[in-house]
Amino acid sequence: MSWALKEHVAVRCKPSTQAEYKRSVELFINPKIGTRKVTDIERRDIAELHQSLSHIPYQANRTLGVLSKMFNLAEVWGLRPDGSNPCLHVKKYVERKRERFLSPDEFAALGTALREAEADGSETRSAITAIRLLMLTGCRLSEIMTLKWEDVDTAARELRLPDSKTGAKVVHFGQTAAAILDSIERLDDNPFVITGKKPGARLTDLQHPWQRIRDKAGLGDVRLHDLRHSYASGALALGEGLPMIGKLLGHSQVQTTARYAHLANDPVKRAAGRVSDMIGLALTGGEPQSR
């Protein structure tokens, strides 16, 4: 299946998409069907591969998507007959959206862990800075890790990203994030904000530093992407509406922002509780009724 990586993915796809395809091919596809002829693969082969990943449904579905794209290309290139994609009718697994938002106390614990790592040198300055910027901007991981100084304007408090998951966009940020960006040493031989160890390179691995820092903060179940969810949750807590949240996060579709709609109901629930308690107090002449 490496033919698709060389002929299509490496030429036409974004780096992040290339990495996803490469991972699926090398870890999940090639070990199962990588040695087979593209013309010999049938639907039952795809179904068996998909079933073998049932314990990780998200990855199973992503791998199925990669395979489907590959076999579509095989048809376009004349390697298989039209309409013969063996992925057709292989049903995807149900994916349960995981939502995890940090509370103020959890943010405080994370802040303490970051300061301690900074003080004792257990983590690199780049890793610590990247985590702080993820929290303070609501950016996607790839947007911070590939951020270049030419796209940063701390005076205007803007990140002008030429390419993101939803295309070019502007990310606005506050004084706290601006102060962090201003404190970073700019290297003449490195265009990246989050620098790596090699000259001119960016940091490529934030997962391992993050796992150590989150464990130190007692937040072992928190993913890096949950920092973006928490940014949205914080905006809602301050009274920002869903349209504004969508603009802050750079969502291209209203449906994507709508996943936070239930959080917007929290102030309504609190107000309803206060009214209920007041009426309950009047009815009983005593303590408010519990909600």
The pLDDT value given to residue 262: 66
- 290: helix, strand or coil: coil
Cα–Cα distance for residue pair 82/102, rounded to 1 Å: 49
Residues 268, 240: contact at Cβ < 8 Å?
A: no
Cα–Cα distance for residue pair 289/123, rounded to 1 Å: 50
- CATH number of the domain to which 215 belongs: 1.10.443.10
pLDDT category at 95 given cuts 50, 70, 90 is confident
The pLDDT value given to residue 182: 95
pLDDT higher at 131 or 57: 131
Supply the range of the domain harboring residue 72. Answer: 2-76
The pLDDT value given to residue 10: 66
The pLDDT value given to residue 5: 64
- If residue 171 lies in a helix (H) or strand (E), which one and from where to where? strand 169-172
The pLDDT value given to residue 22: 85
* Same domain as 118, residue 242: yes
The residues with which 192 forms a beta bridge, in sequence order, are 148
Question: What does the pLDDT look like over 256-266, one tens digit per residue?
Answer: 676 776 666 66
Residues 168, 157: contact at Cβ < 8 Å?
A: no
Weakest-pLDDT range from 38-42, 138-142, 147-151, 216-220 = 138-142
* Same domain as 205, residue 63: no
HSE on the CB side for 57, CA within 13 Å?
A: 8
185-204 mean pLDDT:
94
Residue 81 counted as domain residue: no
pLDDT category at 30 given cuts 50, 70, 90 is very high
The pLDDT value given to residue 11: 61
Side-by-side strand order, sheet with 152-153: 152-153, 158-161, 169-172
* Same domain as 64, residue 114: no
pLDDT category at 168 given cuts 50, 70, 90 is confident
- CATH number of the domain to which 51 belongs: 1.10.150
Closest CA to 193 of 231, 153, 165: 153
Looking at the structure of the chain, the number of domains it has is 2
* Same domain as 240, residue 173: yes
Q: How would DSSP label each residue in 35-57?
A: TS-TTT--HHHHHHHHHHTTTSH
The pLDDT value given to residue 6: 66
Cα–Cα distance for residue pair 204/196, rounded to 1 Å: 7
Question: What does the pLDDT look like over 269-280, one tens digit per residue?
Answer: 677 777 777 777
Residue 181 counted as domain residue: yes
249-258 mean pLDDT:
70
